[in-house]
Amino acid sequence: MRAARLAVLALAFAASAASAALFDDDEARKRIADTNVRLTQVQAQLEARLAQLEQQLRAQGLVEMLATVEGIKSDIARLRGQLEVLQFELAEAQKRQRDLYVDLDSRIRKLETAAAPPPATQPPAAGAVPEPPPVSAAADSAAEQREYDAALEQFKRADYNGAIASFGTFVRAHAKSPLAPSAQYWVGNAQFAKRDFRSAIAAQRMLIQAYPDSSKVPDALLNISSAQAELNDNAAARRTLEELIAKYPTSEAAGKARQRLGVR
């Protein structure tokens, strides 16, 4: 009987211990699960905070970038304004230069016309009625002058293509005219104004070849040197200036050449 009681008590104790062990295991599992939940929550909070911080950093960087861009835009606007002012001043300087060229050319043409000797004529025979002076030559000369002046006006208006065409037509139609060398010079000068420097050089070389005794040759050489300098062929530009000084030392163009070379 006693043994039976002891066995019952042993079984009850074992059952109680097993129940306690099961309870402890379930509690541990619950605690682990709760801890995992908390860890997951904390991890989520940390990731959210990190994402927020990264977003703030990106936003701050974007703000700085935008500020930099706005600064660049401001600088560009300021530089564009300065460029427009310089372009206006350049256009005005080019206009003044064109006007000066035209005025000088007109004065030279008038001086050359005034200095030209009258054509030689044979004295009339005794008792003969003197013939009236020919009018066709004078009319042709006046027509040439009007044609030349019209082309020069095109250049003055900065219609360089029109001036090139008109002066070129003049030279072809009046190759023997006293105005032909000047017309050919203005062809090259208009090419230079268009920044077609190679064509400008070719046009001025045509003048030198066709009219080697013209007073425009020194100016043509000076124009060639300027075009060569614009093409960054400084050695050729210097040689042209030296040629100009050597061949036409007393010309006004030679004086400008000396200034460019820094010599006297």
We find that the CATH architecture of domain 143-264 is Alpha Horseshoe (1.25)
Q: Which positions of the chain have pLDDT values less than 70?
A: 1-36, 39, 61-71, 73-137, 264
CA distance 168 to 174: 10
Predicted local confidence at residue 212, as pLDDT = 96
CB 167 within 8 Å of CB 184: yes
- Which has the closest alpha carbon to 133: 118, 146, 116? 118
Contacts of 48 by beta carbon, 8 Å cutoff, 6+ apart? none
Taking the whole predicted model, whether its pTM rises above 0.85 is answered as no
Contacts of 243 (CB under 8 A, 6+ apart): 221
pLDDT of amino acid 172? 96
φ/ψ bin of 125: left (φ > 0), alpha (ψ from -120 to 50), beta (otherwise): beta
The pLDDT value recorded for residue 21 is 45
Provide the sign of the torsion angle of the four alpha carbons 209, 215, 216, 219, taken in this order. positive
* pLDDT given at position 44: 78
What gap in Å lies between CA 29 and CA 23, rounded to an integer? 10
pLDDT value at residue 107: 64
CA max distance for the chain = 195
